[in-house]
Chain A
């Protein structure tokens, strides 16, 4: 539909000229390094920095006592702890030196004495009254519920009841760029350079730490080397830490985490334990679903309750189920804390339900795809939240999957391979999974969903876009260029997007929830439309312009719709506007529609829209080694109008690769609260050799609310990869995998259980 435009940041990134935070140098820069808790729970009794301070080039040590403002805030992780440490990695002090090496070496020499407290690492243990409390007087932070109909009625109506317990593991963002930040002390404000996912939250936390108003902190975004939900509160703490040092020494200060530090302090995806009970008629019609979940929040609150709320709302999947009861408990443990990670509570429930759907299909002796199609939500159906849905495309996604994966032939081919090669080491399998996912922040307290964008046309006709939304690599800057170029009918080469600088752009919230395209995209539309109106007003004073005439902005030309003979070039129109003493700045501010959630009833309008997708995966499993190869991964996603087809393609391929890691190899392993696999030699992510053939299938069902009809995409693509893979392995081994990851050991265990041998 649109002409392809290259990414706006492509050249800087390809030539090595793009500046990430650790690439920045300032005169007289000093460096800081962290001293962190080595115990999982306890109180700091003393800090002995004598040895550290005697080293060459060491300037000093800072603790919470050096914080003029807030050192900690309720249940949030502190900038530096006052005394209580709650996980191995809590920040206690910072050593400051003239070089990074000196700071890091000296930090190792700081001696901490603790009074240890009983620590708890298991969520079920932590829920007991005998467990040591981590915050307040209970380790259960909250229980969030959704109740639709009467689930017991649903089970009574059922011919078949299927129950299953599933679990998901702790994984991490593992963006290839480790966290880094630089603070530069200025006379009347603090300048911070860092890769932020939520620039305005980082600014606020820095201001709270320094005890200054937010206008005294200026955050200028460095190029962001990947986020995936990370570089959020982690970055607020890191930026606050360097700002403290910069203020104290009145010099620029940099701190860059090593990979081990990044893994130790970086937030993770919540591990879930989920008990399912699902009922269906003989023909496959779903009658009732009960979902009981426990989420491991780790040591601090962060966004755990909001993540849990999304899990709750999406727990019924893209299916019509008249009776649903879901409860999720958010529980503290003395471990690295959990926070947003690409999917924000979706991947866990999508994994669980899609595994359960396959189990139910087996029980019903029904084809898994047929079971999903039979229950797929339709326009006008009532969602488990009580909301009446429109714009539902799950059936289209499932049918596209059936077609593109050559579903029936694939199943037959695999069955005959496994029959013919029964004595060999390989088994083939095919698995599917489907999803619906709420767009943007939703009603569950993730905040007011707004964004602001300015678009300025300069006198030479060139355009600058100022946006408060962070470019984390997903291509939101290119998306905004696309929208402005479409609406003003001008070539994309005229447009530049500025670096995010909180001094010049309005607070537009975080880059989360796949909201950038919809929320900031709509703000961009409004800003560009305002410019169009300003141009139209000036042109309407021309003789040729009849009253109420409509103008078409296309191909760098503005034309009368009903008389295309009459036109003016874009360039001349801009000149006319400025010669009249008018301005050409456009301001767009977009708020998502108001949503209401009734916390008591567990029902409400959760999201203003849902997106849909379906995946199919073929695997080849070696039953002697337990190794699973992804042969082929078909990923069908309804993206609305694709604003940039190559970007959509890239998001899908990247999301699938991340999902393959979640499904097969990735797991943050902890022993007594200590992370064992703290670098990429032991935390195993997919390489180019591990991803098989990814086949994105892009459906474009126009969105009624998205800019130019577009929908969000970043998270849905990751959310149903793991269940498609494990369902495929279960198919290959004839034994159901219900826990993640399906690593070598787990697969081998199922080889023994199943009929594969």
Chain B
């Protein structure tokens, strides 16, 4: 079947199997490997993408259900070498180590600030609670997202 979506602001059309997972379509067919598979059951959040303004685990999202929808992946939020303010804040706070979970954490951080530009620490913590990170202990990640809050409008 043919799937039509908007991925990172560009319309795409791909031939998919009816049972394909969104994660596989992104990684294998569209070569967007920033979303990772960590658990395959929607627990770790490494496969997080933004679907019509909501974060989803793409490993448990049926690709066919994304017909006509708009998807943002980690590859779409920076502009060439110009990082998104959330990404820039991760640099400044050293909020990463192995980096495997980082695309998911950045997208969860970006999305909560898109929805609630004034999000407080508690809301940020809750927003990333679906993203497991084994390296950082989350503190620098939360610091980074909180810090990015003031920089998004600039």
- Interface status of A178 (Cβ within 8 A of chain B): yes
Asked if residues A473 and B98 are in contact (CB atoms below 8 Å), the reply is yes
Cβ contact within 8 Å between B96 and A7: yes
Closest to A646 in B: B94
**Chain A, Cβ-Cβ closest to B74:** A16
Q: Give chain A nearest CB distance to B1 CB in angstroms.
A: 17
Give the distance in Å from the alpha carbon of A22 to the alpha carbon of B38 in the complex: 11
Known: A13-B102, A16-B73. A654 touches B41 (CB 8 A): no
Contact A178 B94 (CB under 8 A): no
Contact of B135 with A by CB under 8 A:
yes
User: How would residues 38 to 80 of chain B score, 1 for a CB under 8 Å from any chain A CB and 0 otherwise?
Assistant: 1111011010000000000000000000000000011100100
Q: Which chain B residue shows the least CB distance to A656?
A: B137
Q: B34 and A691: CB pair below 8 A? A: no
Task: Tell me which of B38, B95, B128 contacts A176 (CB under 8 A).
Answer: B38
Partner of B97, one of A17, A474, A694: A474
The residue of chain B having its C-beta at the shortest distance from the C-beta of A173 within the complex is B134
Query: Does any Cβ of B come within 8 Å of A420's Cβ?
Result: no
Chain B, 13-42, CB within 8 A of any chain A CB? 27, 31-41
Contact indicator B126/A10 (Cβ below 8 Å): no
* Inter-subunit contact B94/A679 (CB<8 Å): no
Residue of B nearest to A23 (CB): B33
CA distance A25 to B44 in the complex (A): 24
- Kindly provide the distance from the CB of A21 to the nearest chain B CB, expressed in whole angstroms: 11
Task: Answer whether residue B148 sits at the interface, using C-beta atoms and an 8 A cutoff.
Answer: no
Write the A19-33 contact mask toward B (1 if CB under 8 angstroms, else 0).
110110100000000
B87 in complex: contacting residue of A14, A647, A657, A680, CB < 8 Å: A14
Find out whether the CB atom of B137 lies under 8 angstroms from the CB atom of A694. Answer: yes
The answer to whether B94 and A658 touch across the interface, beta carbons within 8 angstroms, is: no
Whether the Cβ atoms of A679 and B43 lie closer than 8 Å is yes
Query: Which of B31, B44, B100, B103 has a CB less than 8 Å from the CB of A680?
Result: B44
Bound together, the chains give a CA A173 to CA B35 distance in angstroms of 21
Contacts A176-B36, A178-B37, A680-B43 known; A653 to B138 CB distance under 8 Å?
yes
Give the residues in chain B near A6, CB-CB below 8 Å.
Answer: 91-92, 94
Task: Pick the residue among B83, B132, B137 that contacts A691 (CB under 8 A).
Answer: B137
Tell me, yes or no, whether B11 is within 8 Å of chain A by CB: no
Question: Are A226 and B74 interface neighbours, CB within 8 A?
Answer: no
Find chain B residues with CB under 8 A from A656 CB: 137
A16-B103 contact given A10-B91, A688-B129, A689-B129, CB 8 Å threshold: yes
**From A227, A649, A680, A688, contact of B142 by CB (8 A):** A688
> Which residues on the A side are within 8 Å of B131 (C-beta)?
687-688
> Is B5 close to A, CB under 8 A?
no
Closest to A178 in B: B38
- Give CA–CA (A9, B91) in the complex, Å: 10
**Shortest Cβ distance from A661 into chain B, in angstroms?**
9
Of chain A, the residue at the smallest CB distance from B141 is A688
Q: Residue A10 contacts which of B37, B78, B90, B129 (CB distance < 8 angstroms)? A: B90
Residue of B nearest to A647 (CB): B94
Complex contact A228–B134 (CB within 8 A):
yes
Q: Does B119 contact A (CB under 8 A)?
A: no
The reply to whether B132 and A680 contact each other, CB–CB distance below 8 Å, is yes
Most buried by B among A13, A22, A228: A13
1/0 contact trace for A620-647 toward B, CB 8 Å? 0000000000000000000000001011
Once bound together, how far apart are the Cα atoms of A681 and B131, in whole Å? Answer: 13
A473 touches B97 (CB 8 A): yes
User: In the docked arrangement, what's the CA distance between A691 and B138, Å?
Assistant: 8
Cβ of A175 within 8 Å of any chain B Cβ, yes or no, is yes
Of residues 441 through 489 on chain A, the ones whose CB sits less than 8 Å from some CB of chain B are: 472-475
Total CB contacts across the A-B interface at under 8 A? 171
A687 touches B97 (CB 8 A): no
Could you say which of A13, A23, A258 contacts B96, with CB atoms under 8 Å apart? A13
- Please report the C-alpha to C-alpha distance between residue A680 and residue B95 in the assembled complex, in whole angstroms: 23
- Asked if residues B36 and A177 are in contact (CB atoms below 8 Å), the reply is yes
Closest A residue to B130 by CB, please name it. Answer: A687
Residues of B within 8 A of A11 (CB): 83, 91
Interface centre among B91, B98, B101, B142 (most CB of A within 10 A): B98
- Mask: chain A, 653-679; 1 = CB below 8 Å from B; 0 = not: 111111000000000000000000001
| Known A15-B75, A472-B98, A653-B137: A688·B90 in contact at CB below 8 Å | no
Interface centre among B33, B73, B87, B95 (most CB of A within 10 A): B33
- Does residue A650 face the partner (Cβ distance < 8 Å to B)? yes
B2 within 8 A of A: no
Residue of B nearest to A680 (CB): B43
- Measured CB to CB, the nearest residue on chain B to A19 is B33
A16 close to B32 (CB less than 8 A): yes
Determine whether the beta carbon of A225 is less than 8 Å from that of B136: no
**Interface status of B7 (Cβ within 8 A of chain A):** no
Determine whether the beta carbon of B134 is less than 8 Å from that of A658. Answer: yes
**Residues of A245-281 whose CB lies within 8 A of B:** 258-259
Interface assignment of B139: CB less than 8 Å from any CB of chain A: yes
B111 is an interface residue with CB less than 8 A from chain A: no
**How far does the alpha carbon of A655 sit from the alpha carbon of B135 in the complex, in Å?**
7
A11-B83, A20-B36, A225-B98 are contacts. A688–B140 as well, Cβ < 8 Å? no
- Report the minimal beta-carbon distance from A612 to chain B, rounded to whole angstroms: 21
A228 cross-chain contacts in B, Cβ below 8 A: 134
Hey, which chain B residues are within 8 Å of A175, CB to CB? 98, 100, 134
> Is B113 an interface position by the 8 A CB rule?
no
Shortest distance in angstroms between B119's beta carbon and chain A's nearest beta carbon?
Answer: 13
CB-nearest residue of chain B relative to A473? Answer: B98
Contact A681 B43 (CB under 8 A): yes
B98 adjacent to A15 (CB under 8 Å): no
Residue of B with least CB distance to A717: B137
Bound form: Cα–Cα A280–B98 in Å: 45
Query: Nearest Cβ distance between residue B132 and chain A, in whole angstroms?
Result: 6
Does A174 have its Cβ within 8 Å of any Cβ on chain B? Answer: yes
Contacts A9-B99, A226-B134, A685-B134 known; A176 to B125 CB distance under 8 Å?
no
In-complex Cβ contact of A223 among B43, B83, B99 (8 A): B99
Q: Which residues of the partner chain B approach A689 to less than 8 Å between Cβ atoms?
A: 125-126, 129
The residue from B39, B46, B87, B94 contacting A7, defined by CB atoms under 8 A apart: B94
Residue of A whose beta carbon sits closest to that of B96: A13
Check: A18 CB closer than 8 A to any chain B CB: yes
| Residue A312 interfacial (CB < 8 Å) | no
Residue of B whose beta carbon sits closest to that of A225? B100
Q: How far is the CA of A676 from the CA of B39 in the complex (A)?
A: 16
- Asked if A584 lies at the interface with its beta carbon under 8 angstroms from chain B, I say no
Chain A residues with Cβ under 8 A from B91's Cβ?
6-7, 10-11, 14
Contact of B41 among A650, A655, A681 (CB under 8 A): A681
Within 8 Å of chain B (Cβ to Cβ): is A224?
yes
Interface residues of B (CB under 8 A from A): 27, 31-41, 43-44, 46, 73-75, 78, 83, 87, 90-103, 106, 125-126, 128-142
A-B contacts, 15 listed (Cβ < 8 Å): A11-B91, A15-B78, A15-B87, A16-B32, A16-B35, A16-B75, A177-B98, A224-B98, A226-B100, A226-B135, A650-B137, A653-B140, A656-B137, A685-B132, A688-B125
List 9 tightest A-B contacts by C-beta distance, closest first. A16-B34, A473-B98, A13-B99, A653-B137, A225-B100, A657-B137, A646-B94, A16-B74, A473-B97
Given contacts A14-B106, A225-B98, A654-B136, list 20 more A-B pairs with CB under 8 A.
A6-B91, A7-B91, A10-B90, A10-B91, A11-B91, A14-B91, A15-B87, A18-B99, A175-B98, A259-B41, A474-B97, A644-B94, A649-B140, A654-B137, A655-B137, A656-B137, A657-B136, A657-B138, A679-B40, A681-B41
